[in-house]
Structure 1
């Protein structure tokens, strides 16, 4: 978790996920941010999430780390040095109310421990990354599976968009969107995040 600066998250970046929540498929990248207090590592220990604000939903994502200051024209393979798997935990009932009022999502997305990360791995390029699916197990059962080749906006597009509108530099990370299959988490659930067949991180969830 050290040396992480800005945490950007891409919403609705998989067509089937947008459909399962009844959202329109975006025509340009849709981003929000999380505070650094949201970060927690999936290192096998217990992760505490709010238990008194309605349903908490899991959203599995591929996360990329920017390894150098962005300059226009740089490719993903030049900029990204590491990747991880992450969970964008969401207070779904809170988010639904915020949407109705046209308000920002921070209350639903930015609470402590809402940005779960595995340990970072070396990034071997976009083409190589597309060869492997990522998935999440809940209590031993697969609940989500995805591949970045199915994203609506590819890594180059979301990196360029983030840099243009917010700035992008070494230590920034991007949650790149979640595939279909999101759902509620319960106290006592065990989660595991897999890259192919390799478990990169695990945690036990407690709703407090």
Structure 2
């Protein structure tokens, strides 16, 4: 499936305890789901990603992204519905988000702007055990910025699929950004971002602000 075939982009907020705490947020008791428009998608193929430069800080958030290959039915196993995975960035206008959170307004202006969902190359879903054992890493201009493991998720992959499928629907062509570990920070013009699954690089881009 190419990125042009993606239908819905579901994203999970605050799914790693330390990330929730680093932003001063309460740890959720059920999955916090928001969406991005498909216009937010952009490949991570060594290309330049142009981001807004006049609305405050733009933060990086590296995440495991799951591709859904068939329609959800109650009780379906994650291995039977997930058809691939990759790493992606949930880019966030943090100053904008802080303002709209204070007003209780939707997150779309902070999370859904064009280019806010860079995606790496798709690869085979490895199953829950392998998923939780491997480390994923964001390298920012040669320095490690984030490191995480799916084992640290508050809500695991199976729980996310059940929750999204039950409440919103989930089908072939949908993708799920599963949440980011701690270590998020503001991007600077010219930053190079590289996404690694173990020692394999599955995406990179250069930031232009």
Shorter chain as denominator, the TM-score bin is: over 0.9
In structure 2, C-alpha distance between the alignment counterparts of 1:126 and 1:78, rounded to whole Å: 12
In structure 1, C-alpha distance between the alignment counterparts of 2:154 and 2:130, rounded to whole Å: 19
Residue in 2 aligned with 1:24?
A: 26
Deviation at 1:129, TM superposition (A): 1.4
In structure 2, C-alpha distance between the alignment counterparts of 1:145 and 1:164, rounded to whole Å: 31
Counterparts in 2 of 1:106-121, with a 5 A limit?
106-121=108-123
Helix, strand or coil: the match of 1:169?
A: coil
Counterparts in 2 of 1:128-139, with a 5 A limit?
128-139=130-141
**Contact 2:133-2:150 at 8 Å conserved across structures:** no
Deviation at 1:23, TM superposition (A): 0.2
| Structure 2 residues not aligned, in runs of 5+ | none
- The equivalent position to 1:154 in structure 2, one of 153, 156, 159, is 156
Deviation at 1:47, TM superposition (A): 0.5
Q: Give the TM-score of the pair, scaled to structure 1.
A: 0.98
Matched, 1:50 2:52: yes
Residue in 2 aligned with 1:144?
A: 146
Counterparts in 2 of 1:38-187, with a 5 A limit?
38-187=40-189
Helix, strand or coil: the match of 1:16?
A: helix
Paired residues in the alignment total: 207
Q: Give the TM-score of the pair, scaled to structure 2.
A: 0.98
In structure 1, C-alpha distance between the alignment counterparts of 2:115 and 2:188, rounded to whole Å: 15
Helix, strand or coil: the match of 1:180?
A: coil
| Structure 1 residues not aligned, in runs of 5+ | none
Helix, strand or coil: the match of 2:4?
A: coil
Residue in 2 aligned with 1:203?
A: 205
Helix, strand or coil: the match of 1:156?
A: helix
In structure 2, C-alpha distance between the alignment counterparts of 1:46 and 1:93, rounded to whole Å: 23
